[in-house]
Amino acid sequence: MTDVPTLSRRGFVLSLLAASGALVIGTRPILAAVVDAEPWTKDTPTGAHEFTPWLSIAPNGQVTVMVTTPDIGNGVVTQALSFVYEELGARWDDLRAQYASTSSDYALGGVYSKVNGSIGYFGGRSTSDERRITYMTAAANARERLRHAAAAQWNVPVGEVEARDGLIHHAASGRSTPFGALLAHAASVALPEDPKPKRREEWTHLGKDSPAKVQNPLVVSGAAVYGIDVKIPGKVYAALRQSPVMGGRLKSYDFESIRHMPGVRTVVEIKPTPANEKNILPSPFPMETTRIQAAVAVIADHYWQARTALDALPIEWEDGPGGKWENTQAMADAAMAVLDKPGGKVDFQAGDARADFAKGGKIIDASYLTPYCEHMPMEPLNGTALVTDKTVELWHPSQHTQMAFTLAVQQTGFAPENVTVHQTFVGGGFGRRAYGDDARMVVAVAQQYPGVPVHTIWSREESTRQGRYRAMVAGRLKARLGEDGLPTAFEAHGSGGPGMNFRGVSDTVFPQIVPNAHVETHILPDLHVLNGPYRGPGYNSGAFIMESFVDELANAAGVDPMEYRIRLYAKWQDKAWVKVLEELRDKSGWGQPLPKGQARGVAIGNWGMRGKPFAGTTCGAVAHAEVTQDGKLTIHRLDIAFDSGRILNRDAVRAELEGGAIFGLNMSLNEELNVEHGRIVEGNFHEYPMLRIGDIPQLHIHFGGLSDNERYYEIGEPPVGPVGPSVANAIFAVTGKRLRTTPFRKQDLRWGEKSASAG
Amino acid sequence: MSYSLKINGAAVDVDAAPDTPLLWVLRDHLGMTGTKFGCGVAQCGACTVHVDGVAARSCQFPLEAAVGVEITTIEGLAPNAQHPLQRVWVEANVPQCGYCQAGMLMAAAALLEANPNPTDDDINLHVDNICRCGTYPRVRAAIHKAAEMMRG
Ligand code: FES
Ligand code: FES
Per-residue pLDDT tens over the stretch A658-671: 999 999 999 999 99
Q: Are residues B42 and B28 in the same domain?
A: yes
Measured CA distances, B151 to A26, A337, B54, B118, B144 (Å): 17, 63, 20, 12, 11
Measured CA distances, A583 to A352, A572, A579 (Å): 35, 17, 6
Q: Does any ligand 1 atom lie closer than 6 A to the CB of residue B40?
A: yes
How far is the first Cα of chain B from the last one, in angstroms, to the nearest whole number? 47
Q: Are residues B66 and B88 in the same domain?
A: no
Of B53, B76, B99, the one marking the end of a domain is: B76
d(CA A181, CA A60): 8
Sheet bearing A167-170, strands edge to edge: A161-164, A167-170, A175-178
Per-residue pLDDT tens for A55-105?
A: 999 999 999 999 999 999 999 999 999 999 999 999 999 999 999 999 999
pLDDT score, position A31: 45
* A228-321+381-457 and A552-757, same CATH topology: yes
pLDDT score, position A84: 97
Residue A341 neighbours by CB distance under 10 Å:
10
- Of the candidates A401, A397, A404, the one whose C-alpha atom is nearest the C-alpha of residue A382 is A397
Q: Are residues B97 and B34 in the same domain?
A: no
CATH number, domain containing residue B144: 1.10.150.120
Segment A538-556 shows an average pLDDT of 98
Chain B hits for A233, Cβ within 8 Å: none
Q: Does A700 touch chain B (CB under 8 A)?
A: no
Point out the ligand nearest to the CA of residue A75.
2
CATH number, domain containing residue B48: 3.10.20.30
Point out the ligand nearest to the CA of residue A663.
2
CATH number of A14-219: 3.30.365.10
Please provide the size of chain B in residues. 152
Q: Does A312 touch chain B (CB under 8 A)?
A: no
pLDDT tier at B48, thresholds 50, 70, 90: very high
Q: Which residue of chain A has the CA closest to B127? A: A693
Q: Are residues B85 and B146 in the same domain?
A: yes
Please identify among residues 174-213 of chain A the ones whose CB lies closer than 8 Å to any CB of chain B: 210, 212-213
- B139 min Cα distance to partner chain A (Å): 8
Per-residue pLDDT tens for A17-60?
A: 333 332 233 333 344 678 889 998 876 667 788 888 999 999 99
3-state SS string for A326-369: CEHHHHHHHHHHHHHCCCCEEEEEECCHHHHHCCCCEEEEEEEE
For chain A, the 3-state helix, strand and coil shares in percent, each to the nearest 5, are: 35, 25, 45
Q: Above 70 in pLDDT, residue A10?
A: no
CB A531 within 8 A of CB A496: yes
Q: Do A222 and B40 touch (CB under 8 A)?
A: no
- Of the candidates A545, A704, A583, A700, the one whose C-alpha atom is nearest the C-alpha of residue A635 is A700
Q: Are residues B60 and B101 in the same domain?
A: no
How far apart are the CA of A3 and the centre of ligand 2, in A? 30
Q: Which structural domain, as residue segments, surrounds residue B60?
A: 2-76
Q: Do A219 and B101 touch (CB under 8 A)?
A: yes
Segment A317-325 shows an average pLDDT of 98
Segment A471-493 shows an average pLDDT of 98
Segment A445-461 shows an average pLDDT of 98
Pairing status of strand A63-67 against strand A95-99: parallel
Q: Which residue of chain A has the CA closest to B21? A: A304
Extended beta strands in A185-247, E state: 236-242
Mean pLDDT over each residue of chain A, to the nearest integer = 93
Q: Are residues B66 and B119 in the same domain?
A: no
Domain A552-757 -> CATH class: alpha beta
d(CA A133, CA A136): 5
Q: What residue ranges do the domains of chain A occupy? A: 14-219, 228-321+381-457, 552-757
Mutate to test the interface with A, among B93, B111, B129, B143 (most CBs of A within 10 A): B93
The residue ranking higher by pLDDT, A50 or A695, is A695
- Amino acid identity, residue A162? E
- Amino acid identity, residue A297? A
Q: Which residue of chain B has the CA closest to A26? A: B91
Per-residue pLDDT tens for B15-43?
A: 999 999 999 999 999 999 999 999 999 99
Q: Are residues B105 and B145 in the same domain?
A: yes
Pocket test residue of B22, B24, B41, B49 for ligand 1, highest count of atoms within 8 A of CB: B41
pLDDT score, position A119: 66
Number of domains within chain B: 2
Residue A208 neighbours by CB distance under 10 Å:
11
Of A73, A212, A228, nearest to B133 by CB-CB distance is A73
Q: Are residues B10 and B72 in the same domain?
A: yes
Q: Does A376 touch chain B (CB under 8 A)?
A: yes
Burial class, A593, CB count within 10 angstroms (exposed 0-12 / middle 13-18 / buried 19+): exposed
Q: Report helix, strand or coil for A237.
A: strand
CB A678 within 8 A of CB A528: yes
- Asked if the interface predicted TM-score (ipTM) of this complex is over 0.85, the answer is yes
Residue A318 neighbours by CB distance under 10 Å:
13
Q: Are residues B83 and B64 in the same domain?
A: no
Q: Are residues B86 and B137 in the same domain?
A: yes
Please identify among residues 561-620 of chain A the ones whose CB lies closer than 8 Å to any CB of chain B: none
Q: Which residue of chain B has the CA closest to A686? A: B43
Q: Above 80 in pLDDT, residue A122?
A: no
Phi, psi of A620 (to 5 degrees): -125, 160
Per-residue pLDDT tens for A222-262?
A: 999 999 999 999 999 999 999 999 999 999 999 999 999 99
d(CA A543, CA A735): 22
How far apart are the CA of A106 and the centre of ligand 2, in A? 32
d(CA A723, CA A744): 12
- B104 min Cα distance to partner chain A (Å): 10
CATH number of A228-321+381-457: 3.30.365.10
Sheet bearing A698-702, strands edge to edge: A598-607, A617-627, A633-643, A698-702
Residue A720 neighbours by CB distance under 10 Å:
30
Q: Are residues B54 and B106 in the same domain?
A: no
Q: Tell the residue nearest (CA) to atom 3 of ligand 1.
A: B42
Q: Are residues B69 and B121 in the same domain?
A: no
- Of the candidates A632, A630, A673, A614, the one whose C-alpha atom is nearest the C-alpha of residue A465 is A673
CB A100 within 8 A of CB A112: yes
Residue A457 neighbours by CB distance under 10 Å:
26
Burial class, A415, CB count within 10 angstroms (exposed 0-12 / middle 13-18 / buried 19+): exposed
**A401-412 and A437-447 helices, crossing angle to 10°:** 40
3-state SS string for chain B: CEEEEEECCEEEEEECCCCCEHHHHHHHHCCCCCCCCCCCCCCCCCCEEEECCEEEEHHHCEHHHHCCCEEECHHHCCHHHCCHHHHHHHHCCCCCCCCCHHHHHHHHHHHHHHCCCCCHHHHHHHCCCCCCCCCHHHHHHHHHHHHHHHHC
- DSSP character for A185? H
Of B76, B99, B129, the one marking the end of a domain is: B76
- Amino acid identity, residue A506? S
Pairing status of strand A382-387 against strand A392-396: antiparallel
Chain A hits for B35, Cβ within 8 Å: 222
State the Cα angle at A597 between A626 and A665, rounded to 5°.
20
- Of the candidates A239, A242, A237, the one whose C-alpha atom is nearest the C-alpha of residue A272 is A242
Of B76, B103, B121, the one marking the end of a domain is: B76
Percentage of the residues of chain A whose pLDDT score is greater than 70: 93
Chain B hits for A457, Cβ within 8 Å: 37
